[in-house]
């Protein structure tokens, strides 16, 4: 064997009781699980190997699957990608929230780069030598001199980008020809290896699609064995109706549904997680195929421009900036956001003391970072909208925010649900990113399993491994089982914890010494190795 991991406490991903065993690995796969009964092993000889790792005191689990990641360019930019590797993440699902970089033409690529600069940077350091989904996945495989990427990655076709490609930024129904073009783009992307389709239905231009348009695209996704992953139309006022809309739509299309960052935020939803879970339970009892992901924190994270009303974003980034520079139009935007409640802010009047700037594209604007819009405005002796408007224009819409609107009781209730999985929603850009980017998985293991007992450790691991693997239809990942790929994480159940905080968000976790992908150490003794074992994970036909 290439490797034997001795005397590990195996938490195998099923949710069942852990057990002690030696795990043998050869050619990237688990070849033998040699269980220990009491203080002795079975009568068969213990496996031997070129390399032996003593795992006494450590738990061994399948590698964690981040069901909602924003590493679309980070995987190409940073070969180490320690933010995720150090957490035990061995697979990320990217292409989220309806906006990413394939499929595109030259016009669409330029627009989407500008639109999501706050998520991924402007990409000036990236050679965008792809246009199709298949070419992007190939690019991941040959990244960093042909060695690959830090962790595995699966891709969702971004519906907003598809709409941008087919019909620009217009707020109108698609013509039959445009809808056919979108269907073709989705079908091509699925054939080229995407695992499903995402939407960002509070982001332009994806939010301009009506339910009939989305249903038609979901039918294409379902025909190719994929799933639909919407950031739905509201997480604030009307959140329950927005969830119900996605359930109804996907059932009509006979398409599996995975609800992205399934939170119940804002004051109007305090204590309402049971209402969401009852809605899901009713649908599941009726035969619906539904899963969801959450991050184990209360604040959200997005871009400042995402807070604007959708009508102010029609036409794309240049049109947005022109409206913000016009005093009359800017006043209409302010009224919509502060008084009516913009759809970009989930139908809730914006509270500027909850909007903290976490990153800026222009380093000259760093003085805004770590402060709420309300605080920066008070320091300048001006109204919050004046501050926000100036920042949007000066930073060319590239600013990211933390939005402090969550409820802990909702977070805990949703993570207990049987179809729950883990997703970091981790934006790695910015001077002060959300700590979930570096801390989601150890936060689940340490704070919510060990300290709070919201879930048992075995249940927690199942949420982070086998459940997402089943949603992704991965036949040989997500469990510690003979014949499965040796994507493994070893952690100390007594000490594992997120190191990242809101004050120091890029701090690495503790208690996760070893991480393997395809049997190769990407983390060893708590340090990132130079191994690039990650590849694009294409949809299983």
453 forms beta bridges with: none
pLDDT of residue 282: 98
DSSP 8-state code for residue 495: T
Whole-number pLDDT of residue 231: 97
> Which pLDDT belongs to residue 37?
75
Strand partners, 341: none
Tell me the helices (H) and strands (E) count for the chain, helix number first: 19, 21
Averaged in consecutive runs of 10 residues, what is the pLDDT profile of the chain (541 residues)? 96 98 97 82 79 96 98 98 98 98 97 94 95 98 97 98 97 97 98 98 95 98 98 93 98 98 92 97 98 95 92 92 97 96 91 94 94 97 97 95 92 97 94 94 98 98 98 97 98 98 95 98 98 95 71
CA 212 to chain centre: 26
In DSSP notation, 207-240 reads GG--HHHHHHHHHHHHHTT-EEEEE-S-SSTTHH
What pLDDT shows up at residue 518?
Answer: 98
- Of the chain, the end-to-end C-alpha distance in Å amounts to 31
pLDDT tens digit string along 36-81? 876 665 567 899 888 999 999 999 999 999 999 999 999 999 999 9
For residue 11, what is the DSSP state? Answer: -
For 152, how many CA atoms within 13 A lie in the half-sphere containing its CB?
Answer: 27
Element (H, E) at 54: strand 51-54
Closest alpha carbon to 100 in 91, 112, 110: 112
Residues 400 and 302 sit within 8 Å (Cβ to Cβ):
yes
Per-residue confidence (pLDDT) for residue 38, from 0 to 100: 64
* Nearest in space to 357 (alpha carbons), one of 405, 404, 298: 404
**Token pair of 83, please?**
């933010």
Query: Quick one: pLDDT at residue 44?
Result: 78
Q: Are the C-beta atoms of 167 and 199 separated by less than 8 Å?
A: no
Q: What are 199's strand-pairing partners?
A: 230
Instruction: Order across the sheet with 355-359: list the strands.
Output: 300-303, 400-403, 355-359
Distance, in Å, from the CA atom of 387 to the CA atom of 398, rounded to the nearest integer, reads 15
With H, G, I as helix, E, B as strand and everything else as coil, classify residue 394.
helix
Specify whether the CB–CB gap between 421 and 433 falls below 8 A.
Answer: no
Q: For residues 487 and 152, is the Cβ–Cβ distance under 8 A?
A: yes
Q: For residue 103, is the peptide bond before it cis, meaning its omega torsion is within 30 degrees of 0? A: yes
Q: What is the structure's pLDDT at 39?
A: 60
Neighbours of 375 (CB within 10 A): 17
Residue 458's nearest CA partner among 479, 473, 475, 485 is 479
- Taking the C-alpha atoms of residue 308 and residue 342, their distance in angstroms, rounded to an integer, is 6
DSSP H helical ranges for 89-223: 106-115, 117-120, 133-141, 143-146, 159-167, 176-191, 211-223
Residue 491 · residue 57 · CB < 8 Å: no
* Omega before residue 205 within 30° of 0, cis: yes
From the list 371, 318, 313, 372, the residue with the least C-alpha distance to 337 is 313
């Amino acid at each position: 064997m290439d490797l034997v991991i001795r005397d590990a406490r195996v938490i195998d991903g099923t949710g069942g009781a852990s057990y002690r065993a030696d795990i043998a690995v050869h050619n990237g796969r688990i070849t033998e699980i040699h269980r220990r009964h009491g203080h002795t092993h079975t009568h068969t000889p213990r496996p031997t190997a070129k390399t032996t790792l003593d795992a006494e005191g450590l738990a061994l689990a399948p590698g964690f699957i981040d069901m909602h990641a924003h590493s679309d360019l980070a995987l190409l930019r940073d070969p180490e990608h320690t933010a995720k590797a150090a957490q035990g993440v061995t697979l990320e699902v990217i292409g989220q929230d309806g906006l990413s970089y394939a499929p595109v033409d030259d016009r669409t690529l330029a627009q989407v780069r500008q639109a999501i600069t706050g998520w991924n940077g402007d990409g000036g350091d990236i050679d965008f030598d792809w246009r199709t989904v298949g070419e992007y996945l190939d690019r991941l495989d040959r990244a960093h001199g042909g060695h690959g990427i830090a962790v595995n990655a699966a891709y969702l076709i971004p519906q907003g980008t598809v709409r941008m490609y087919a019909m620009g930024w217009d707020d109108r129904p698609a013509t039959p020809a445009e809808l056919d073009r979108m269907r073709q783009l989705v079908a091509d992307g699925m054939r080229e290896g995407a695992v499903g389709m995402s939407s960002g239905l509070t982001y332009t231009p994806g939010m301009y699609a009506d339910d009939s348009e989305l249903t038609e695209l979901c039918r294409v996704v379902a025909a190719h064995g994929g799933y639909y992953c919407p950031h739905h139309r509201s997480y604030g006022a009307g959140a329950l109706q927005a969830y119900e809309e996605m359930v109804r739509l996907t059932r009509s299309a006979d398409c599996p549904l995975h609800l992205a960052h399934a939170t119940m935020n804002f004051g109007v939803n305090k204590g309402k997680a049971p209402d969401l879970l009852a809605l899901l339970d009713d649908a599941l009892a009726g035969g619906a195929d539904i899963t969801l992901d959450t991050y184990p924190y209360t604040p959200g994270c997005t871009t400042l421009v995402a807070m604007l009303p959708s009508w102010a974003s029609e036409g794309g980034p240049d049109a947005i900036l022109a409206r913000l520079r016009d005093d009359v139009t800017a006043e209409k935007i302010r009224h919509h956001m502060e008084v009516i409640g913009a759809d970009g802010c989930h139908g809730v009047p914006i509270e500027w003391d909850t909007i903290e700037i976490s990153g800026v594209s222009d380093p000259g604007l760093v003085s805004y970072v770590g402060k709420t819009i309300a605080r920066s405005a008070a320091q300048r002796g001006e109204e919050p909208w004046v501050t926000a408007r100036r920042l949007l224009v000066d930073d060319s819409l590239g600013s990211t925010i933390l939005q402090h609107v969550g409820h802990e009781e909702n977070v805990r209730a949703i993570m207990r649900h049987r179809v729950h999985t883990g997703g970091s929603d981790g934006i790695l850009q910015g001077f002060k990113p959300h700590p979930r980017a570096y801390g989601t998985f150890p936060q689940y293991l340490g704070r919510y399993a060990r300290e709070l007992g919201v879930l048992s450790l075995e249940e927690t691991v199942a949420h982070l491994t086998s459940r997402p693997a089943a949603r992704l239809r991965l036949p040989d990942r997500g469990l510690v089982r003979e014949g499965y790929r040796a994507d493994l994480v070893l952690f100390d159940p007594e000490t594992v914890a997120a190191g990242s905080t809101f004050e120091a968000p890029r701090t690495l976790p503790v208690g996760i010494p070893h991480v393997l992908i395809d049997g190769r150490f990407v983390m060893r003794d708590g340090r990132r190795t130079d191994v690039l074992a990650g590849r694009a994970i294409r949809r299983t036909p």
